[in-house]
Structure 1
Amino acid sequence: MSRRENTSLFHRGGPGLGLAALVLVAAAATPRAQAKTFLGGTPQSVSQTVQDAAQQQAAADYAQKVQDLINKTEASYHAGVDDYNANKLDAARMDFDSAVDGMLSSGMDLKNDPQLADEFDQLLSRINSLELVALKQGNGFSPKVEEAPVDAANDVTFAPDAALVSRVTAELKTTTSDLPLVNNEYVSGWIDAFANKPTLHAHLVHSLERAGKYKAMIQKILADNGVPQDLIYQAITESGFQPQVLNRRSGAGGMWQFMPFGNYGLARNGYFDERFDPVKSTIAYAKYMKYLYSQFGDWYLAMAAYDWGPGRVQHVVARTGYADYWELYRRADLPAETKAYIPSVIAAVIMAHNPQQYGLTDVTPDPAVTFDTVTTDYAIDLRLVADLTGSTVADIVALNPALLRLSTPNDIPYDLHIPSGTLQEYKDRLQNIPEEHRASWRFHVVKAGETLDQIADTMHSHASEIAEFNELKPAQPIEEGDELVVPVAASPTFRGSQRYTLRRNDTLVTVADRFGVTVEQLREWNHLKSSRVAPGHSLYVSEPIRLAPTSRAARGRHSRRSSHTSVHSGSSKDHTSAKRSGAAKRSSGKKRAR
């Protein structure tokens, strides 16, 4: 179907047909031999006809009501997106709340009506994606991203240029590709745009530079899955090889722009979103493209289905009888974005294979991203990871674009990427830090001229606690190269149940991040059915103590280990206890590097 929802005869463009009109329509469709019986038959037959017509009218009225609610919801959501893009976050939140409230208060069955259930689930997923990315970008370390060309497709217009079409067609004769490249006025138009429109040319150049980071990895995954190598250039149109791109209107995210809903084998929670993981999302992309090709038998239709959705492409192919992308393009059966999508990918492939003809010889690909991997099942702050590996927080964030916070999740296995060559050093240094303190404590290599007080001030610790934990003696001053574990007080947590009263601008995501729990835990502990929370509402932010729990509830709570029951007050007593427990056993009081 088209992007606009297809509507039936009875609710297209306004109110449905009246009951009498339905009867007449039914009569007109009845064979002449039955017309007399239909209009002048027995009371029973007339009654049945009227009843059938009434049911049709009721179904049409309900369908119109559903569509009106969806239209109203989408209007509120898109108004929120506009405010979000304009950095009017309070206004955006009000619009998003209005969209959710409108559906919840509609009185309609959101659970059992497939169309409404799908709309509601997608609405929550899209809003949640925006909140998570806003949270991630709010950490100050995530890079800014540039708009992908298809997002600006409506601004690109092409004047027919027969000479350009002829030249590009000639170039294709010497261009080798494992994609079936063609040229026409649409592809040539995109080549001209990439070459001569400053914004699009800059996007192409930057994309080809960034491609160096991931090219070897992507090509191996494409080869492993038996799909064309030149599909790598689809990422230019999708994201420009930017793993943290989010389409704020649709909620699609990552290098391959997966939607926040759908079964692509990519995990999403309050701590990480694998759509932003370059490796895992590329594997999902390759598998999905292979599946789409098996459905359509044509790479152009497969790409169109990737952009627009396979169901929509199958529908338009069945309706028109044309299983040919270019015929569907010429017949105006495709939306503007999908019409721009395939020609822009083909144009990028042609230009990448012919850099001299298009002024791309000066493009220098970025070095390939390399890293060591350590699997964590404990929470560790990325600042501590940077300390342990001798790198910066920005370096660690860049290696882990799927992380939504400056911490790994607790009790959930996560493949943490650290700079190449630092794995053993990371493990050696980490063993001196108790697991329960890795989300707050720091590590420091003493620089020339530093004092213990200076280190304590910089890392928000206390000199006495650093000295005690590292077994430093007054007569033994620190020296350049000494490696110190730096105890830092964590955000306060409390034994037993803890509640928090929501304030203006709070969301489940921000509350979960504040208290070091997951959104799923907040929903479970507070029996929440949606992500909507209102100011003034009190939430459990640690696992509540419940009397006489049901066996089901008990099983649910005991299935995961709570990480929020211990108290860390920042006192030296706690540090001494941890040290004596053997959790942070060291070979010596301090390690000197010479």
Structure 2
Amino acid sequence: MYKLVIFLFILVNYSWASLIGANYNQRDMQILEDLQIKSSFITDYKLQKTYNNLLRKHNQNNYVRKLSDASLFVPKIKKILREEEIPSVFLYMAMAESDFTIDAKSNVKATGIWQFMSETGKHFDLNINLYVDERMDLVKSTKAATQYLKYLHKRFDKWYLAALAYNCGEGRVIEAITRATIDKYVEENPKEKNSSKIQEFRHTIYSYQRGREPFYKLNRVYKKIRKWDVSLDIDDFLRVQKNITRQYIPSESRMYIRKIIALGMMNNQSFITENDNAHLLNIGATSSVATIPVKGGLHLKSISNAVGIDYKEIKNLNKHLKLQIVPPYEKTYDIYIPYSRLARYQANKNLIKDSKYLVYIVKRGDSLHRIGNKYNISYKIIKDFNKLNTNVLSLKQKLIIPISSNKSNSSSIKLAKANTKTTLIYKVKNGDTLYSIARKYNIDLKKLMSDNELKSNFINIGDKIVIKK
């Protein structure tokens, strides 16, 4: 009986080893190397489970469809990743985040291919206002994502940690590194388990987790333990501890990093490299999207009609233009067209009529007649352009107003600018007070506290203060 158990144990392990060996190749190992993950992680059970699930026929078909649907976007993303010296595997982070859906929105309001939250997007200079949401701008959002990833890599020194921090937050990864380092240090030095230093550090972590201590105190511990001679790898962060409610890394993020790796490995499989799908490997070999500067205030329809580009085609590449209007407060603004249409655009761009458009938000007491008189335009034109079936307007309704070239004066542009808000993120430095920050940005102190939901004037070094002007 004992010999039978041993035989079965060896057989199971041999079968598992054979399964692993059959499911990866040298290009898969390169994915791990690019993420700075040790090669032995290829045998991670949950990674293989994720990978094998993706290899099911319906998931293969979905994978091919997503790559094919994104054939215009992928080359541009690859090019930017290359230029910014970001490992190419991060293409699959975009796939994991949004399935390459340029206007994807999550239930927590993260938006775009790279799923930026509003404040994070603004921090990386993505404009979000009445006219644009640049989280859905293919080029600008990808460049913002690369800047964020480079910042995270500089902070954590590992690309896989940068990917985890992108998903679950910089603070959570700092907490994870701090906890994992202390736990491993105690494992290697059991006599230190009850030392005052270890107890003090663990108390700070415990208090931070329960909201009793500010982040800067956790960060202070983090900076100290980073100097210790303790080596951690991905297994240390992803392992599930028994009887622990708050794991080092949230389950969603543990699944997320494995999914990125598995999606990258999928691209090396025979269903991609052979037969009808082989062309997908060459996505990114040539330019696919051209960037063109156009005058502010133009409608995409005007550009589409003048240069003979399908309106739906140009609209799908410019979903960051919320109402298909180029921001009227900009002298010129970049939009995107298929590279294959660039020659046609260059030949016909002078045919674009210098018609301007802006967005008007209906206020109390407004009527189509009153708005028409304000902009010296027939109310019927406004009604027709906005496809209104009635003259009745709703409060805060958005109307597109066509403005003739001789009427697109400074007052119109001022209205457009008034509908945008500048938001900055200020990081509290030594010596700062809420009063000094409010004075620096010429903002009322009560407004600053309200915008940041602060109940007192107390702030800490490293806190991020939202500045809305």
The answer to whether TM tops 0.5 is yes
Residue 112 of structure 2: aligned partner: 254
1:394 aligns with 2:312: yes
Calculate the TM-score normalised by the size of structure 2: 0.56
1:275 aligns with 2:128: no
CA deviation digits over 1:252-301, x for unaligned, max 9? 11111111112122111111111111111111111211111111122221
Residue 363 of structure 2: aligned partner: none
Where do 1:171-570 residues align within 5 Å? 172-175=24-27, 176-177=30-31, 178-179=34-35, 180=37, 182-183=41-42, 184-196=44-56, 198=58, 200-247=59-106, 249-262=107-120, 263-321=123-181, 323-331=232-240, 332-352=247-267, 354-356=268-270, 361-363=275-277, 364-365=279-280, 370-412=288-330, 413-418=332-337, 419-430=341-352, 433-436=353-356, 490-491=381-382, 503=394, 508=396, 510-511=397-398, 521=418
Counterpart of 1:362 in 2: which secondary structure? helix
Gaps of 5+ in 1: 1-159, 440-486, 494-499, 525-551, 553-594
Answer whether contact 1:512 1:522 (CA < 8 A) is retained: no
CA deviation digits over 1:374-417, x for unaligned, max 9? 32343122222211111221011022122111222212232122
CA deviation digits over 1:320-357, x for unaligned, max 9? 326443222213432221021011111111121x2217
Counterpart of 1:420 in 2: which secondary structure? helix
Q: Supply the distance in 2 between the matched residues of 1:261 and 1:360 (Cα, whole angstroms).
A: 43
Change (3 A) 1:229 1:523: closer
Change (3 A) 1:522 1:224: closer
Answer whether contact 2:292 2:334 (CA < 8 A) is retained: yes
Residue 167 of structure 1: aligned partner: 19
**RCO higher in structure (CA 8 A, sep ≥6):** 2
Answer whether contact 2:358 2:401 (CA < 8 A) is retained: no
Answer whether contact 2:164 2:173 (CA < 8 A) is retained: yes
How far did residue 372 of structure 1 move?
Answer: 4.4
Counterpart of 1:416 in 2: which secondary structure? strand
CA deviation digits over 1:83-114, x for unaligned, max 9? xxxxxxxxxxxxxxxxxxxxxxxxxxxxxxxx
Q: Specify the structure having the higher radius of gyration (Cα).
A: 1
CA deviation digits over 1:232-255, x for unaligned, max 9? 1212211122212111x1111111
Calculate the TM-score normalised by the size of structure 1: 0.45
How far did residue 370 of structure 1 move?
Answer: 3.2
Q: Supply the distance in 1 between the matched residues of 2:169 and 2:316 (Cα, whole angstroms).
A: 31
How far did residue 189 of structure 1 move?
Answer: 0.7
Counterpart of 1:312 in 2: which secondary structure? helix
Gaps of 5+ in 2: 1-11, 185-231, 241-246, 360-377, 385-390, 404-411, 422-441, 443-469
Change (3 A) 1:259 1:434: closer
Residue 198 of structure 2: aligned partner: none
Answer whether contact 2:299 2:357 (CA < 8 A) is retained: no
Answer whether contact 1:374 1:417 (CA < 8 A) is retained: yes
How far did residue 302 of structure 1 move?
Answer: 1.3
Counterpart of 2:71 in 1: which secondary structure? helix
The one-letter code matched in structure 1 to 2:261 is I
The one-letter code matched in structure 1 to 2:382 is S
Answer whether contact 2:328 2:357 (CA < 8 A) is retained: no
How far did residue 369 of structure 1 move?
Answer: 6.5
Where do 1:18-29 residues align within 5 Å? none
Q: Supply the distance in 2 between the matched residues of 1:264 and 1:173 (Cα, whole angstroms).
A: 37
Change (3 A) 1:396 1:220: closer
Residue 36 of structure 1: aligned partner: none
Q: Percent identity?
A: 25
Q: Supply the distance in 2 between the matched residues of 1:172 and 1:203 (Cα, whole angstroms).
A: 21
Q: Provide the aligned C-alpha RMSD in A.
A: 3.7
Question: How many residue pairs end up in the alignment?
Answer: 304
Q: Supply the distance in 2 between the matched residues of 1:373 and 1:399 (Cα, whole angstroms).
A: 10
CA deviation digits over 1:66-87, x for unaligned, max 9? xxxxxxxxxxxxxxxxxxxxxx
Q: Supply the distance in 2 between the matched residues of 1:416 and 1:314 (Cα, whole angstroms).
A: 38
Answer whether contact 2:296 2:327 (CA < 8 A) is retained: yes
Change (3 A) 1:362 1:228: same
Answer whether contact 1:243 1:276 (CA < 8 A) is retained: yes
Q: Supply the distance in 1 between the matched residues of 2:292 and 2:351 (Cα, whole angstroms).
A: 14
Q: Supply the distance in 2 between the matched residues of 1:523 and 1:243 (Cα, whole angstroms).
A: 23
CA deviation digits over 1:164-186, x for unaligned, max 9? 66433465452244344631111
Answer whether contact 2:96 2:260 (CA < 8 A) is retained: yes
CA deviation digits over 1:479-512, x for unaligned, max 9? xxxxxxxx9974179xxxxxx9973xx5x4x436
Counterpart of 2:398 in 1: which secondary structure? helix
Answer whether contact 2:172 2:249 (CA < 8 A) is retained: no
CA deviation digits over 1:13-46, x for unaligned, max 9? xxxxxxxxxxxxxxxxxxxxxxxxxxxxxxxxxx
Q: Supply the distance in 2 between the matched residues of 1:243 and 1:214 (Cα, whole angstroms).
A: 9
CA deviation digits over 1:418-442, x for unaligned, max 9? 4321233332212xx3444899xxx
